[in-house]
Amino acid sequence: MSMLVQISNLTKRYITTTALSDVTLEVPEGHIMGLLGPNGSGKTTLMKILAGLVSPTSGSVLVDGMAPGVGTKAKVSFLPDVNHLDRWMSVGEAGDFYGDFYLDFDRKRFEELLTIMRLDAGQKIGSLSKGMVEKARLSLVFSRKARLYVLDEPFGGLDPLARSQVLDALVANFRTDCSMILSTQMVADVEHFFDNVVFLDRGHVVLAGDAEDLRTRRGASIEDIYREVYGHVETR
């Protein structure tokens, strides 16, 4: 199985803090990896590095064999944890914008996703509710035929119904020639989607493995393991 993401001994230091410390992990092609951990564990920093927005202090990062940069940005579809769309744009215009930017943007797919998500291309971003903005952002991200999808908290502002729409879109969208990394704190809702999980704590990988193996070996759900690893309840 070929590895789409290879990270070894990655460290990221900011002036006063160390966000990631000696992180080593791999994501095989065709796999969905769950990146788990409480706030401040380094998930967002790791995802930004994969998206080519933050550069590592030391260690090596390879996405499809290349160090993150202009070349990988064309292959990585990134959902940042905060809204990255301009309020004055309509949903359709945001699609035009993505179409101009990314060669792998599939307009037809975008329209289909808007239907699944029950969004209207004419609506202005500024007039949408938080959950609808999330769905619009996800529609854009999934409309790219990327090699790697990096989704930072994709279920953040979503109600249960919207969450299931997004999960449907996620399964429908998933291909064997791509990989997905998603961070979430709603472990219970999405743990059926993970091939592998990585638990981060204060920048360190504290536990990593195949989700089914972990369930078998520990006789526990990933959510239970999460509680065990972090020693407190904050998943719901």
Partner 1 sequence: MEFDDRAPIYTQIMDLVKRRIAVGELKVGQQLPSVRDLAQQVVVNPNTVQKAYLELEREGYVATQRGMGTFVSGDRGTVDLLRQRLARDIVEAYVASMRSLAYGPEEITAMAAETARKETK
Q: Which of residues 141-180 bind partner 1 (CB under 8 A)?
A: 164, 167-168, 171-172, 174, 176
Q: 214 forms bridges with which residues in the sheet?
A: none
The correct pick among 134, 152, 153, 191 for binding partner 1 (CB under 8 A) is 191
Piece of the chain touching partner 1 by CB under 8 A; list 49-57, 70-78, 121-129, 215-223: 215-223
Q: What are phi and psi of 104, to 5 degrees?
A: -90, 10
What is the smallest separation between the CB atom of 212 and partner 1, expressed in angstroms? 4
Q: Residue 121 gets which letter from DSSP?
A: T
What is the smallest separation between the CB atom of 216 and partner 1, expressed in angstroms? 5
Burial of 3 (0-12, 13-18, 19+ CB in 10 A): middle
The correct pick among 74, 89, 116, 188 for binding partner 1 (CB under 8 A) is 188
The residue to which tokens 């999980």 are assigned: 197
The correct pick among 26, 29, 195, 201 for binding partner 1 (CB under 8 A) is 195
Cα(35)–Cα(208) distance, rounded to whole angstroms? 9
What is the smallest separation between the CB atom of 32 and partner 1, expressed in angstroms? 6
What is the smallest separation between the CB atom of 51 and partner 1, expressed in angstroms? 23
What is the smallest separation between the CB atom of 47 and partner 1, expressed in angstroms? 20
- Closer CB to partner 1, residue 64 or residue 224? 224
Cα(148)–Cα(123) distance, rounded to whole angstroms? 29
Please report which helix (H) or strand (E) contains residue 25, including its range.
Answer: strand 18-28
User: How far from the centroid of its chain's Cα atoms is residue 200's Cα?
Assistant: 15
- The residues near 33 (Cβ < 8 Å, ≥ 6 apart) are 27, 179, 180, 181, 182, 194, 195, 196, 197, 198
The correct pick among 10, 223, 226, 235 for binding partner 1 (CB under 8 A) is 223
Q: Where along the sequence are the contacts to partner 1 (CB under 8 A)?
A: 30-32, 164, 167-168, 171-172, 174, 176, 188, 191-195, 212, 215-216, 219-224
